[in-house]
Amino acid sequence: MQVSIACTEQNLRSRSSEDRLCGPRPGPGGGNGGPVGGGHLNPPGGEGSRPKARATPVPRPPAQSEALRESTGRNTGMKYRNLGKSGLRVSCLGLGTWVTFGSQISDETAEDVLTVAYEHGINLFDTAEVYAAGKAERTLGNILKSKGWRRSSYVIATKIFWGGQAETEKGLSRKHIIEGLRGSLERLQLGYVDIIFANCSDPNSPMEEIVRAMTYVINQGLALYWGTSRWGAAEIMEAYSMARQFNLIPPVCEQAEHHLFQREKVEMQLPELYHKIGVGSVTWSPLACGLITSKCDGRVPDKCRATIKGYQWLKDKVQSEDGEKQQGKVMDLLPIAHQLGCTVAQLAIAWCLRGEGVSSVLLGVSSAEAADRTLGCLQVLSQLTPQTVMEIDGLLGNKPLSTKYYRQ
């Protein structure tokens, strides 16, 4: 029998966050809400026949739902959050492999980057079958095999949609989801991935077929969870409804672009899905592909993704009129960054981490030094007050979006 892992809206409303994550709270006597005195009732007769004294109610401490939902690693300072409303704990920062692994950087540099990330508490590594035509998965798999880290200590996510040139090697048909995932597992040299993402919505594949295929690969042990990437809110809700209707497994998260200049979906649409059906967010491109740094200043830096072959579109975006305006706004953030003792990049990443439904923010770094430097955003996050966020919005000329679901 297939068992769904997401919470229903009724359950989400009827239980507090602490109850959902930790189960029933113990009563004053140490049991699960049982009577005082260890939960033992007096037998009839004897002293037990006397009128029972009414127990003095013990006030329940306020629920620490936020503290339970986010914890901090003892040795690394990394923060861990639930993937949506599932029980999977992922680092609030993840390492992406788009552009870098198998393409921009050497395998040796990729190993250094992955090692720094892992040693600093990052446990989420994201890739896709389309990245560098499969080389990114192969590079990641080789590194993981050589490192010999416990498989249970990290989370691997891959994405399926563009797998090859043939018509049957792309899309979200049952055939490609199953065969594409098996191909990814072969390149990764793993028996399963923790999360499989549908890397784009597919109008040519019925939603029921997609959800059934995702349920199948999970039931077969090829994946543990599934999510969506670049889907609309209505499509995610349709997949959830389909799963509920046919007792299938619904998605637990959506992977979406999110940065200072791309906000509406993650901040206005996905929070509702998070609270209603438990779908969280894994966001990518927190620096807008390198645009949100103080290094551009009206030009394209030598070590920018926009200079890589095949990314002319990004160079055109940086050099466009809108791109130049955005770079000007980024420079306006320098005083705030200096006040907080950080770089603009660290500030921008910390800004992306403040959403309650954001499970993890994926980083794309090209060196171990850059990875180590980027991790400084965790210290910035603790200093990012609502007043600072409002000041950033004012400098960028953004209309403040809903702060209802910000982490406090």
* SS (HEC) of 140-183: HHHHHHHHCCCHHHCEEEEEECECCCCHHHECCCHHHHHHHHHH
| Backbone φ, ψ for residue 82 (5° rounding) | -75, 145
| Backbone φ, ψ for residue 83 (5° rounding) | -80, 100
Which of 257, 85, 226 has its CA nearest to residue 157?
226
> Is there a contact between 352 and 358 (Cβ–Cβ < 8 Å)?
yes
Known active-site residue 118:
no
CA distance 355 to 271: 8
> Is there a contact between 126 and 94 (Cβ–Cβ < 8 Å)?
yes
CA distance 152 to 150: 5
The number of residues making up the chain comes to 408
3-state class percentages of the chain: helix first, strand second, coil last, to nearest 5 = 45, 15, 40
> Is there a contact between 375 and 242 (Cβ–Cβ < 8 Å)?
no
Indicate which residue of 80, 118, 131, 274 is catalytic. Answer: 131
- Give whole-number Cα distances, 167 to 171, 197, 208, in Å: 8, 20, 20
Sign of CA dihedral 116, 119, 124, 128: positive
Residue 80's CB is within 10 A of a number of other CB atoms, namely 18
Residue 49's CB is within 10 A of a number of other CB atoms, namely 10
Both tokens of 100, joined, read 């870098």
> Is there a contact between 84 and 252 (Cβ–Cβ < 8 Å)?
yes
Which residue in the block uniquely carries the two structure tokens 């603790």? Answer: 382
CA distance 77 to 385: 19
Give the Cα-Cα-Cα angle 282, 287, 289 (nearest 5 degrees).
95
> Is there a contact between 254 and 279 (Cβ–Cβ < 8 Å)?
yes
Catalytically active residues, by annotation: 131
